[in-house]
A and B are shown apart, each in its own frame.
Chain A
């Protein structure tokens, strides 16, 4: 209190000093006789320093056997021995209250005791570890926080019914899909501004909503485009609807990464700061004692409720694993989510119960990675699918070969395994319908001197899941399936510099190869001759490309060079090019003929490529995050590689198209639309041209107005100047008459030196 008082006196001195300026009268009239007479209460209240409660290190242990004096020491020793494992117990930090037993008159314990640890964390550990600990057959220890006892004893006994909240109608969260022109939206993050735009073909995008400092780090759409997630120190906020109001908030201090489940039902958040409950024991936050110290939270997106929190997984030594994101992978139906503890196990959890499937993790020695198989529209429509598929791989351990395994969930039934040897690395790529799984196997020769790649393609839909192997002599650095398609592209390199730290100005030499599934020729009757095989369409040699971006609709693809400081190529390919003469027979027979490079473009300083969800447009951008010095901004292309717009902007950070949910049209309806495409396009062309003329009219009027304003201003200023000059007695300014200007050229000849020489014959 001494310090406190001193502070108050200082404050008072300051107050008095202030008064001194106001005049001495105040002193003589108002100053109390002595210091004690001054009423400090208001100042004291204002500057009250809240004391740390300091009871966080104390726990209460109930259900301890009741003992008398003689056994007290023995009991305490025993208790100490148990709790030593949780942390360091403070010296004389154990306190067992005793009382006089009314019947016997002896001093006996009351059945509980207090234990004080060195730190609050150790106290939490002790509660987690020893609550419910069987000391002996009849005594199960109940371990609680000291602060909790007080908190819960204050809770009212009578149940109070929670107040019913008024029903507030939610906005139409998918209103953007009803745009009559079927435009797409995107979010642009630049400087401190986050803006949502409607994309337009030829004109600058139309602003939908703009907010300053909408997010602190970056923004992210939910997978179906319903919500825009913004990141804040306190947690995540989701926004949407036509008004762009906040829909829901998730409190998670220091949140850095988020991941939605595929159907937007759940949200996973990760923060590098473990959850702490603070002095109030988590009051006012969604966290309870179970969440303390955890870093990952699963949320219910609709209700905003915390479903479960997880600690960071640890490896065999107890050290936390490196964070890989997404940490939890969601099954396509949102029903399961799983995470891997490398080398040990895969833990599959079930929603909405949040429990482990089969109550335990799947122990797989050496497991490196796993992926869920996606499902196609057909499957989900057909029947209620119960089993979901995941694939994982394990490296060679001892004499056991490396292995890729397909596993059904929840039955945990293994439906296919494939053994592999000389494996250095595996990457699993599922085709978007889950029809194929390509495992890219990095292999080495026995001497480990050279490396090469095998593509092991599992045809999952076929009986017994046949596997086809494509051997590639070089290292495959990129692999990508055509969305919903049967084609894929790989980028390979045999450059010895591959894998070396990138040097400035150096660009890797690569080859780009296109593959397709050759259907077996229709044989006699129901039997088909041979099986379908993946065949090479074409290889483009001596490229620099390192990234593949398929249109979400398939068919069109961009092969780009992104990670270079000197090359910024974009190649727009069409894999079903029909040519001008529409020789359909010919193109079907020869896929190489229908592979057509439509356009080669360059975007200086490019860092990202984003297709719009319909595959009509694509945006390449250069973000200040990766390329702080380069021409930041973005360029809008159509799918053919024709540049539509280019916007250079400083501090351009991020641009993301708003995803669209799956189409509700049946395939018959889609077919019908495709058939009548010509008629529809006529209508749209008309609309486009009307829009174009109205814009040019507007622009014209704007320009006229500017010119008129300027001319009016010039007139006024010139008049003013003329008047002023007249007043000052100066001649009016002569307009420069450039037409009638006379140029006088004067030639001045000067003899510098003259010598005479007689030339003799």
Chain B
């Protein structure tokens, strides 16, 4: 499994994302640039220029026509994937930490940061899938969560709910239509750094600074699985084909200079999703791993690190053959 190294960013990666077919990979970074890559060979398709602050988050719609990005320049931007043109800019009071299209592409959520006296919000934006059409500036609704600020969020199945992960390790379930908090749990003891939903959005995985990742049922927040590692986690992803999860993280970026590489734990860890046992690791980054994404067909995955590189890995045959002998 020889990885392809994508050297298209000058600063640390913040999020990477495959489109639905998996032929394209989008990466955003603190260097204010969005890159689009061909996922099979790592060739760069192009960039999307326009943000004037670190970009925190990216998402692509299911038709691979629109791209939404959230940035520390207090804006979210909608892009035409094909042409690289910025179609619309939503301005906010604070940085946009997370963006995500809804399942049917008609909406997107944006998590704005709590800062400078402004409370954190989750803004639901209306998206017109027509590239030519004018996008609405007016959000559909704004959820204002109370308590510790929301760090990450995503949509549940059939656009019913929004799931949010918070700074103190709690997770909440919102009915976005009226902003009502339906349920909230406190499963982690550290900041939740990532939240990714399964293909059918019936369950999701969280990664936390408390060195663990957990899987919950989307509609009830019922805890299903827990993976305890020895490093603070920044990202967790679910793999199709094999019943695995991939976890990534490592020593905090702040402490990296004071520790050696070997105890940084900058590895992608593969855990068996159901058995909660670690099955393997992939080394490579020389800084903490900030984001992991799995190709929708489950045959490759990519990781983006604090070191500014994206590494695209295509699994070897051994990976697909792997089986617990006694479970066959």
B202 contact set on A, CB distance < 8 A: 717-718, 721
- Contact between chains at B296 and A629 (CB < 8 Å): no
A725 touching B230 by the CB < 8 A rule? no
Q: In the complex, what distance in Å separates the CA atom of A718 from the CA atom of B298?
A: 20
Instruction: Please measure, in the bound complex, the distance between the C-alpha atom of A685 and the C-alpha atom of B213, giving whole angstroms.
Output: 40
| A718-B203 Cα distance, complex, nearest whole Å | 11
Q: With A648-B230, A704-B327, A717-B203 in contact, do A728 and B240 touch (Cβ < 8 Å)? A: no
The reply to whether A728 and B327 contact each other, CB–CB distance below 8 Å, is no
Contacts of A706 in B (CB 8 A): 274-276
A713 touches which of B224, B241, B258, B324 (Cβ 8 Å): B224
Interface stretch of the complex, out of A314-322, A526-534, A585-593, A733-741: A733-741
CA distance A730 to B160 in the complex (A): 13
The answer to whether A703 and B262 touch across the interface, beta carbons within 8 angstroms, is no
Question: Interface digits, A718-761 against B, CB 8 Å rule (1 contact, 0 not)?
Answer: 10010011001010010010100100000000000000000000
In the assembled complex, A700 has its CB within 8 A of some CB on chain B = yes
In the complex, A713 Cα to B243 Cα: how many Å? 14
A728 and B262 within 8 A (CB): no
Cβ B297 vs Cβ A738 within 8 A: yes
Chain B 193-220: CB-based contact to A (< 8 A → 1; otherwise 0): 0000001101100000001000001000
User: In the complex where A648-B230, A710-B274, A738-B297 touch, is A717 in contact with B326 (Cβ < 8 A)?
Assistant: no
Query: Is there contact, CB below 8 Å, between B274 and A707?
Result: yes
Q: B16 → chain A, closest Cβ, in Å?
A: 20
Q: Are A700 and B255 in contact (CB under 8 A)?
A: no
| Residue in A604, A650, A703 whose beta carbon sits within 8 Å of that of B263 in the complex | A604
Measured in the bound complex, the distance between the Cα atoms of B48 and A564 in whole Å is 49
Say if the beta carbon of A630 comes within 8 Å of chain B.
yes
User: Could you say which interface size class chain B belongs to?
Assistant: 20 to 34
Taking a contact as CB atoms under 8 Å apart, the answer to whether A703 and B203 are in contact is no
- Does A631 make an interface contact (CB < 8 A)? yes
Interface string of B253-267 (1 = CB under 8 A from A): 001001100110000
Q: Is A374 an interface residue (CB 8 A)?
A: no
Within 8 A of B (CB), among A691-716: 700, 703-704, 706-707, 710, 713
Q: Considering only CB atoms and an 8 Å cut-off, how many residues of chain A contact the other chain?
A: 25
Are B275 and A733 in contact (CB-based, < 8 A)?
Answer: no
Tell me whether A629 and B258 are in contact (CB under 8 A). yes
B263 touching A629, Cβ below 8 Å: yes
Query: Interface 1/0s, chain B 214-240, versus A by CB < 8 A?
Result: 000100000010000010000000001
Return the contact of B326 from the options A648, A650, A700, A730 (Cβ within 8 A).
Answer: A700
Partner of B158, one of A604, A605, A724: A724
> Quick one: given A706-B274, A724-B158, A725-B158, are A736 and B259 in contact (CB under 8 Å)?
no
User: What's the Cα separation between A741 and B20 when bound, in Å?
Assistant: 13
- Chain A proximity of B220: nearest CB distance (Å): 10
Q: Is B324 a contact of A733 with CB atoms below 8 Å? A: no
With A604-B262, A736-B296 known to touch, is A703 a contact of B230 (CB < 8 Å)? no
Q: How far is the CA of A375 from the CA of B111 in the complex (A)?
A: 74
List residues 167-187 of chain B with CB under 8 A from any CB of chain A.
none
Q: Does B157 reach chain A (CB closer than 8 Å)?
A: yes
Task: Return chain A residues, CB-CB under 8 Å to B241.
Answer: 738
Q: Are B255 and A629 in contact (CB under 8 A)?
A: yes
B200 touches A703 (CB 8 A): no
A631: chain B residues at CB < 8 Å are 230, 263
Expressed in whole angstroms, the Cα–Cα distance for A728 and B103 within the complex equals 13
Measured between beta carbons, the chain A residues less than 8 angstroms from B158 are 721, 724-725, 728, 730
Cross-chain contact A629 with B259 (CB below 8 angstroms): yes
| In the complex, chain B residues whose CB is within 8 Å of the CB of A717 | 202-203, 217
B 277-328 contacts with A by CB, 8 A? 296-299, 324, 326-327
Of A630, A707, A725, the contact of B327 (CB 8 Å cutoff): A707
Inter-subunit contact B327/A736 (CB<8 Å)? no
Contact B297 A718 (CB under 8 A): no
A630-B263, A650-B211, A710-B274 known; A733-B200 Cβ under 8 A? yes
Interface centre among B158, B241, B298 (most CB of A within 10 A): B158
With a CB–CB cut-off of 8 A, which chain B residues contact A724?
Answer: 157-158
CB-defined contacts of B157 to chain A, threshold 8 Å? 721, 724
Complex CA–CA separation, A665 to B224 (angstroms): 54
Chain A residues, CB < 8 A from B230: 631, 648, 650
Q: Which residues of A contact B211 (CB under 8 A)?
A: 650
Q: Are B263 and A741 in contact (CB under 8 A)?
A: no
Q: Which residue of B lies closest to A710 (CB)?
A: B274
A-chain residues with CB within 8 Å of residue B296 when the two chains form the complex = 736
**What is the minimal beta-carbon distance from B253 to any residue of chain A, in angstroms?**
15
Contacts of B263 in A (CB 8 A): 604-605, 629-631
Q: Name the B residues within 8 Å of A700 (CB-CB).
A: 326
Least CB distance from B111 to A in Å reads 25
Q: Which chain B positions have C-beta within 8 A of A730?
A: 158
Please report the C-alpha to C-alpha distance between residue A718 and residue B324 in the assembled complex, in whole angstroms.
25
Does A741 contact B297, Cβ atoms closer than 8 Å? yes
Q: How far is the CA of A733 from the CA of B273 in the complex (A)?
A: 22
Q: How far is the CB of A104 from chain B (nearest CB, A)?
A: 86
Q: Which residues of B contact A738 (CB under 8 A)?
A: 241, 297-299
Q: Which residue of B lies closest to A743 (CB)?
A: B23
With CB as the reference atom, state the residue of chain B lying closest to A741: B297
Least CB distance from A707 to B in Å reads: 6
**B240 partner, pick from A718, A733, A736, A741, beta carbons under 8 A:** A736
B298 surroundings in chain A (CB, below 8 A): 738
- Report the bound CA distance from A497 to B269 in whole Å: 42
Contacts of B243 in A (CB 8 A): 710
In the assembled complex, the Cα of A348 lies from the Cα of B308 at a distance in Å of 69
A703 touching B259, Cβ below 8 Å:
no
Chain B residues near A704: list those with CB within 8 A: 327
Verify A703–B326 contact, CB threshold 8 A.
Answer: yes
A600 CA to B255 CA, complexed, in Å: 31
CA gap between A14 and B158 in the complex, in Å: 57
Task: Give A581 to B259 CA distance when docked, in angstroms.
Answer: 47
Which residue of B is nearest A629, CB measured? Answer: B259
Closest to B265 in A: A631
Contacts of B276 in A (CB 8 A): 706
Quote the shortest CB–CB distance from A330 to chain B (angstroms).
42
A694 to chain B, nearest CB (A): 15
Cβ contact within 8 Å between A703 and B258: no
Measured between alpha carbons, how far is A730 from B211 in the docked complex, in Å? 39
Q: Which residue of B lies closest to A722 (CB)?
A: B200
Whether the pair A703, B327 counts as a contact (CB closer than 8 A) is yes
| Cβ-closest chain A residue relative to B211 | A650
CB neighbours (8 Å) of A733 from chain B are 200
Q: Considering only CB atoms, which chain A residue lies closest to B203 in the complex?
A: A717
Of A629, A704, A728, most buried by chain B (CB within 10 Å of CB) is A629
Distance of A713 Cα from B273 Cα, bound (Å): 14
The complex places the Cα of A77 from the Cα of B83 at a distance, in Å, of 109
* Distance between Cα atoms of A548 and B262 in the complex (Å): 26
Most chain-B Cβ atoms within 10 A of its Cβ — which of A631, A718, A738?
A738
How close is B38's CB to chain A, nearest CB, in angstroms?
12
Which of chain A's residues has its CB closest to B159's CB?
A728
Which residues does chain B contribute within 8 Å of A736, judged by CB atoms? 199, 240, 296-297
- Least distance between B147 CB and chain A CB atoms (Å): 27
Cα–Cα distance between A718 and B202 once the two chains are bound (Å): 8
**Interface mask (B115-157 → A, CB under 8 Å = 1, otherwise 0):** 0000000000000000000000000000000000000000001
Provide the bound-state CA to CA distance between A738 and B21, in Å.
Answer: 10
* A650 contact set on B, CB distance < 8 A: 211, 230
User: Which residues of chain A from 248 to 290 have a CB within 8 Å of any chain B CB?
Assistant: none
Q: How far is the CB of A445 from chain B (nearest CB, A)?
A: 41
Chain A residue nearest to B23 in the complex (CB): A743
Can you identify 5 A-B contacts, CB atoms within 8 angstroms? A700-B326, A703-B326, A710-B243, A710-B274, A736-B296
6 additional contacts, CB 8 Å, given A629-B259, A707-B327?
A: A703-B326, A710-B224, A718-B200, A721-B158, A721-B200, A721-B202
What are the 6 closest A-B residue pairs judged by CB atoms, nearest first? A710-B274, A738-B297, A717-B202, A648-B230, A700-B326, A706-B274
Footprint of A on B, CB under 8 Å? 157-158, 199-200, 202-203, 211, 217, 224, 230, 240-241, 243, 255, 258-259, 262-263, 273-276, 296-299, 324, 326-327
